[in-house]
């Protein structure tokens, strides 16, 4: 945490990696962030909360200017043919900026995890051991077309005593630049080093590659974006990675489901925002309710513009009812593993709860799954056997979100099983260390 590793100093890039000058520049920024983090880590909660309040106020005051920069990014993205889902993620208009400022204030209102005693006890020889929460150090974030993440990461890192080094991607370059200018101005005004929240966007893709090589300079790296981006970071990074997952998200409608409840849940999960990782992509329906449920649902989804990729049984039921005219396609095997991020949904009829669970665990990315059921035993079986970070019961998958969970913001949704899993808030931005208090004890 903020201590540079001499074993990696002066290393040159791997073949095909970033230019040595880019490596040196990115490493220097990370080291400057580490020095600034060492100062921030000594700040108390009151000081950090006041800082976040000033950041939120500055974002509110600067909303029009940031939104103008965002509109320039949006115009360029439309010209380049960006799809609707990514355009929705890229949008950072005044309403969303004010919402992000509100999230910063929420983060400020939360308990500071730094210094929290996780556990403690006294050894038989009188040595007193205490495990406490401490910042991670320098947190690297690689993401794309998500300018709200810039604010989320900055607020979570500052509150938890970390520094942030960011690669926000070409599509949101103007927006991120305007946002970081505002945050950096607040840091300067408060007597803190702007290196606490810094970008490497000026180095383009090589900046991201250099971050992946910055072991000993960056303490942890978090990718957030599509499956390709995440896979690239996981496979190529020499820095420890917290993996956030793509969202091949499932809803299972059990034979005991309240179908009146199920229709609006599925509709919300699929259509409320299509370009986000917690939007539902696949629907599994128990055979006993498929004839009654699928025509109703297909009509509602079709009216919302959703194309259905159905297996043979679901296709026959929906086509026979004529409830999705022009929006029904036969599913192919690849559909079951695809995160659409679009108005498209895979539909399959299953014979049992066991079959639904086996299908989900085989094809899910481990993000969020939901069961719609009234049978308590089915609910318990589903929640205990589904191997995903979040499992919902009779609720939309769209609720998997750090803000909704009460975290104020999130670094991402971790789909791994070490350190953090699910929405990553303040506590997930810390690690622990042990402190031993003795009175002269020696080991014999």
Which helix (DSSP H) or strand (DSSP E) does residue 329 occupy?
strand 328-330
Give how far the C-alpha of residue 387 lies from the chain's centroid of Cα atoms, to the nearest Å.
Answer: 18
In sequence order, what are the residues at sequence separation of 6 or more whose Cβ sits closer than 8 angstroms to the Cβ of residue 86? 77, 145, 171, 275, 341
The DSSP 8-state label assigned to residue 11 in this structure reads: P
Q: What's the CA gap between 390 and 399, in Å, rounded?
A: 10
Q: Which residue has the higher pLDDT, 231 or 267?
A: 267
Classify 295 as helix, strand or coil.
helix
Which residue, among 438, 444, 434, 435, has the nearest Cα to 127 in the 3D structure? 438
In sequence order, what are the residues at sequence separation of 6 or more whose Cβ sits closer than 8 angstroms to the Cβ of residue 28? none
Residue count of the chain, please give it. 444
pLDDT the model gives residue 84: 87
Please compute the mean of the pLDDT values over residues 397-421 and round it to a whole number. 89
Residue 419 class from Cβ within 10 Å (0-12 exposed, 13-18 middle, 19+ buried)? Answer: middle
If pLDDT is split at 50, 70 and 90, which confidence band does 246 have?
A: confident
Per-residue pLDDT at 131 exceeds 60: yes
Give all strands of the β-sheet with 249-253 in edge-to-edge order: 328-330, 307-310, 344-350, 280-286, 249-253, 368-372, 390-393
Domains observed in the chain: 6-244+411-437 (3.40.605.10), 249-399 (3.40.309.10)
For every residue of 87-114, which 3-state class applies, written as one string?
HHHHCCCHHHHHHHHHHHHHHHHCCCCC
Per-residue pLDDT at 253 exceeds 60: yes
CA atoms within 13 A on the CB side of 119: 2
pLDDT the model gives residue 403: 86
Q: Which residue has the higher pLDDT, 373 or 5?
A: 373
Question: Between the CA of residue 12 and those of 16, 165, 214, what are the distances in Å?
Answer: 11, 20, 11
pLDDT the model gives residue 168: 95
If pLDDT is split at 50, 70 and 90, which confidence band does 346 have?
A: very high
Q: What's the CA gap between 2 and 191, in Å, rounded?
A: 20
Burial 231-244 (b: 16+ CB within 10 A, else e): ebbeeebebebbbb
Per-residue pLDDT at 5 exceeds 50: no
Residue range 159-178, pLDDT digits in tens: 999 999 999 999 999 999 99
Per-residue pLDDT at 11 exceeds 60: no
Per-residue pLDDT at 226 exceeds 90: no
If pLDDT is split at 50, 70 and 90, which confidence band does 289 have?
A: very high
Mean pLDDT of all residues in the chain?
Answer: 94
Per-residue pLDDT at 8 exceeds 60: no
Please compute the mean of the pLDDT values over residues 310-322 and round it to a whole number. 97
For every residue of 388-402, which 3-state class applies, written as one string?
CCEEEECCCHHHCCC
If pLDDT is split at 50, 70 and 90, which confidence band does 16 have?
A: low
């Amino acid at each position: 945490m903020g201590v540079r590793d001499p074993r990696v100093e002066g290393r040159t890039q791997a073949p095909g990696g970033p230019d040595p000058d880019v490596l040196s520049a990115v490493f220097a920024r990370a080291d400057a962030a580490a020095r600034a983090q060492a100062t921030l880590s000594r700040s108390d909660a009151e000081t950090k909360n006041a800082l976040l309040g000033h950041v939120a106020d500055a974002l509110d005051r600067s909303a029009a200017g940031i939104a103008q920069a965002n509109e320039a990014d949006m115009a360029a993205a439309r010209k380049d043919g960006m799809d609707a889902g990514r355009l929705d993620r890229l949008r950072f208009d005044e309403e969303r900026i004010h919402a992000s400022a509100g999230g910063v204030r929420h983060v400020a209102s939360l308990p500071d995890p730094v210094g929290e005693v996780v556990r403690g006890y006294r050894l038989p020889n009188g040595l007193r051991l205490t495990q406490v929460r401490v910042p991670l150090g320098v947190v690297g974030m690689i993401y794309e077309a998500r300018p709200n993440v810039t604010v989320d990461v900055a607020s979570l890192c500052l509150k938890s005593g970390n520094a942030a080094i960011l690669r926000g991607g070409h599509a949101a370059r103007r927006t991120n630049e305007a946002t970081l200018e505002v945050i950096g101005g607040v840091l300067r005004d408060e007597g803190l080093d702007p290196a606490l929240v810094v970008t490497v966007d000026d180095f383009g893709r090589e900046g991201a590659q250099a971050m992946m090589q910055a072991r000993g300079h960056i303490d942890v790296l978090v990718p957030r974006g599509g499956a390709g981006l995440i896979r690239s970071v996981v496979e190529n990074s020499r820095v420890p990675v917290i993996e956030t997952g793509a969202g091949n998200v499932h809803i299972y409608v059990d034979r005991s489901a309240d179908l009146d409840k199920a229709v609006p849940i599925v509709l919300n999960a699929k259509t409320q925002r299509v370009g986000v990782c917690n939007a539902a992509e696949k629907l599994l329906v128990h055979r006993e309710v498929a004839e009654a449920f699928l025509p109703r649902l297909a009509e509602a989804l079709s009216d919302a513009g959703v194309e259905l990729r159905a297996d043979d049984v679901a296709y026959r039921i929906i086509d026979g009812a004529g409830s999705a005219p022009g929006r029904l396609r036969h599913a192919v095997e690849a559909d079951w593993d695809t995160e659409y991020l679009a108005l498209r949904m895979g539909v399959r009829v299953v014979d049992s709860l066991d079959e639904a669970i086996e299908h989900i665990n085989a094809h899910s990315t481990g993000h969020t799954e939901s069961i719609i059921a009234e049978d308590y035993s089915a609910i318990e079986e589903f929640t205990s056997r589904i191997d995903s970070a979040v499992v919902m019961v009779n609720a939309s998958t769209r609720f998997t979100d750090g803000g909704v969970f009460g975290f104020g913001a999130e670094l991402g949704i971790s789909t791994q099983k070490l350190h953090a899993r699910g929405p990553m808030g303040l506590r997930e931005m810390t690690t622990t260390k042990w402190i031993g208090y003795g009175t002269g004890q020696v080991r014999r």
